[in-house]
Structure 1
Amino acid sequence: MKFSLLFVIVWMCWVGECHGQQTGQEPRYYQTYPSKLTSRFYFSRKYTGMGLEKDGQGLWYMPNSTLNTGVGLSYQNMTLNLAYGFGFANPERGRGETNYLDLQAHVYPKNWVIDLFGQFYNGYYLGQDNLPFPDREELLFPDMKLRKVGASVQYLFNGDKFSYRAAFLQNEWQQRSAGSFMAGMELYGGQVRNQSGILPAALRTQFDLRQIKFMEWAPTIGYAYSLIVKKHFFLTLSAASGPSIGRTSLRDATEAVERNWAVRPNYFLRGFTGYNSERWSVNVNYVYNQVNLAPVAGYRVHVGTGNYRFNLVYRFAPGPKLGKKLHWVERTKEKLLGQ
């Protein structure tokens, strides 16, 4: 899937270049709205799961996180979103209960891509339905805890023509196809633990795994491209990866610890599609980050963090009273930039 996404991005770049050669005069690539408010109504779900593989047996641990309904506002580079997971949108499906605090910040200054993560999850279930365990209770891990913190910072080389904010925040409007290379670095650390066992009982015969700790660092390089059709419809894809240098340690029920260092690639994928115009935007987007840990004792583990969202957006100019209250944002920005 990851290699297919890279192929699609290269194809989109070629198509976009062909379209760009047909224009004689160079219009702006994207429109900004510095004096308008961008309001949104959205549905979203965040999650952080763990994949574990040993001897060809793959397990995928997922939290029972909620589908959230929310509203938000963006003004210039500031965004505030408020959301809640209502019960009618989250029926009981036998997946147990998850308590979590999921902090994800995806910040897109003109020439930068900044992602911050703080994942604190308690309670997991095994996502596959075809596992050879007769008791459904064996698929629930209510005491399993996952912690992941980290950051990814990348420089966007073509921020004058390509806008991440148009695709993700919708406070800009990408009107011409454009792309950009990016490069930077990322750092992640965390652990997974369960004092009653991470593995199902049927798989604990050789190694009763109780804790996984990890630390990862990687330089990254990637490419992003927005394909614009008839000025309003867009498809934006982005992929970044790098050779991650990491250390992983496993602890079993007897307190025995096994460690290993290795180099494995991490992935950061983003996809956005929808309709954009002067006032309205309707779109869906998906952001996925995968951290591949150093293999230890034959165990291959990865931690995947995702965020998918449906947005209905409306831009409008604030009234005179609200405009005065928002004016301090512009003055503060000018002071910080020394203007």
Structure 2
Amino acid sequence: MNTGIGFAIKNTIVGIQLGYGFIPLTDKKKYGKTKTRDFQIHHYGRKMIFDIFFQDYRGFYVEKDKDQNPDIYQQMSVKQIGMEATYLFNGKRFSSKAAFDLDEIQRHSAGSWLVGGGGYYYQLKGMERSGSEGTYGLENFQLGVNGGYAYSWVMSERWMMTGTIQAGANFGNALKSLKKGRVEVYPTAFARIAGNYHKNNWGISFAILINNKTVYPVKKEELSLTAITMQLSYVKHLDHIFKSKNK
């Protein structure tokens, strides 16, 4: 766990985390060092939501019993590059802008069905199999579709809670296997949770994004990646600075 830096322009949120993060939240002597490059863009519109991910992590560990130190895999690395687009069927009543970047205020509780799709590239290196020597790596290309539902609960004039859930399937494989016509099916899940307090020109929001993808579907060694992003935001609208003065 590390902290990073983020900023927002209009209804687009950009999050960046580089190096070791500003404040490491784990004991490096016990758990080793994790080098990270994490770049995300989330664009929230009335009809569409767009997500872009570039996540590159090197250095992992496996927790053991409480009285034992974890196994450290310093050379293991995981890279995830992807983009998703989601369509909102009820964008007139359900506002993703109000839920996730506080660019609007939603007055009444409302929900919307979702449908989306996207593509991902995965690269894993330095993987170890139990009972065998040496390491191995894999790469994977995936394209898929998903569907789900979003709902915002307006608790009062200032407080609101929102949750979205999407599930679907991606189709793909390693490049060599795709050239031979071998296509695998990978289950996917994507969820967002947000709670916010807003006034007319400022607000506070806490949001969680949970992105789960399967990248190796072999039954005995099924491998999935779950990326969890937590974001605490204070938003101050500066529209009056950029509005032209009437003469």
The Cα offsets for residues 164-199 of structure 1, whole Å up to 9 and x where unpaired, read as 1212111211221111111121211211111xxx23
Aligned to 1:279: 201
Measure, in 2, the Cα distance between the counterparts of 1:193 and 1:83.
21
Unmatched segments (≥5 aa) in structure 2: 176-181
Q: Contact 2:47–2:87 (CA<8 Å) still a contact in 1? A: yes
Residue 143 of structure 1 corresponds to: 75
Q: What is the CA-CA distance between 1:296 and the residue it aligns to?
A: 2.5
TM-score (norm 1): 0.62
Moved over 6 A (4+): 80-84
Alignment RMSD: 3.0
Is residue 262–residue 294 contact of structure 1 (8 Å, CA) maintained in 2?
no
Q: More helix by proportion, 1 or 2?
A: 1
Mapped to 2, the partners of 1:83 and 1:248 lie a distance apart of 28
Q: Deviations over 1:55-99 (max 9, x none)?
A: xxxxxxxxxx5223x46453x345566778434x64635221122
**Structure 1 residues 53-202: aligned runs within 5 Å:** 65-68=1-4, 70=5, 72-74=7-9, 76-77=10-11, 85-87=21-23, 90=25, 92-93=27-28, 94-126=30-62, 128-130=63-65, 136=69, 139-194=71-126, 198-199=127-128
Q: Which residue of 1 is the match for residue 178 of structure 2?
A: none
Partners of 1:248 and 1:294 within 8 A in 2:
no
Q: Distance in 1 between matches of 2:66 and 2:217?
A: 23
Q: TM-score, normalising length from structure 2?
A: 0.83
Letter in 1 for 2:2: T
CA deviation profile, 1:231-250 (whole Å, cap 9, x unmatched): 2211100001112223259x
Tell me the residue number matched to 2:142. Answer: 216
Q: Is 1:237 matched up with 2:166? A: no
Contact 1:248 1:295 survives alignment (8 Å): no
Q: Which residue of 2 aligns with 1:301?
A: 223
Partners of 2:46 and 2:60 in 1: how far apart? 38
Q: Determine the structure 1 residue equivalent to 2:188.
A: 266
Q: Name the CA shift for 1:67/1:185 in 2 (closer, same or farther; >3 Å).
A: same
Q: Do the aligned partners of 2:107 and 2:154 also contact (CA within 8 Å) in 1?
A: yes
Distance 2:89 2:224 in 1: 30
CA deviation profile, 1:147-169 (whole Å, cap 9, x unmatched):
11111112111111111121211
Q: Percent identity, aligned pairs only?
A: 23
Relative to 1, partners in 2 of residues 1:131 and 1:266: Cα closer, same or farther, differing over 3 Å?
farther
**CA deviation after TM superposition for structure 1 residue 208, in Å:** 4.8
1:294 shift after superposition: 4.1
2: CA distance, partners of 1:91 / 1:241: 32
SS at match of 1:192: strand
Distance 1:188 1:298 in 2: 23
The whole-number CA distance in structure 2 between the counterparts of 1:107 and 1:155 is: 12
In structure 2, the CA distance between the partners of 1:79 and 1:211, relative to structure 1 (3 Å rule), is closer
Counterpart in the other structure of 2:179: none
Equivalent in 198, 201, 204 of residue 131 of structure 2: 204
1:223 is paired with a residue whose SS is strand
Gapped regions of structure 1 (runs ≥ 5): 1-64, 250-259, 325-339
* Alpha-carbon distance change, 239 to 81 in structure 1, aligned in 2, over 3 angstroms: closer
SS at match of 1:174: coil
AA of the residue aligned to 2:53: F
CA deviation vs aligned residue, 1:94-150 (integer Å, no higher than 9, x gap): 221122211211111220011111112222222x34389x5x3x6211111111111
Instruction: Tell whether the 8 Å contact from 1:243 to 1:265 is kept in structure 2 after alignment.
Output: yes
- 1:318 aligns to what SS in structure 2? helix
Could you tell me how far apart the structure 1 residues matched to 2:210 and 2:165 are?
10
Structure 1 residues 142 and 109: CA distance shift in structure 2, 3 A: same
Q: Per the alignment, in what secondary structure is the counterpart of residue 229 of structure 2?
A: strand
Given that 1:176 and 1:231 are in contact with CA atoms closer than 8 Å, whether structure 2 keeps it comes out as: no
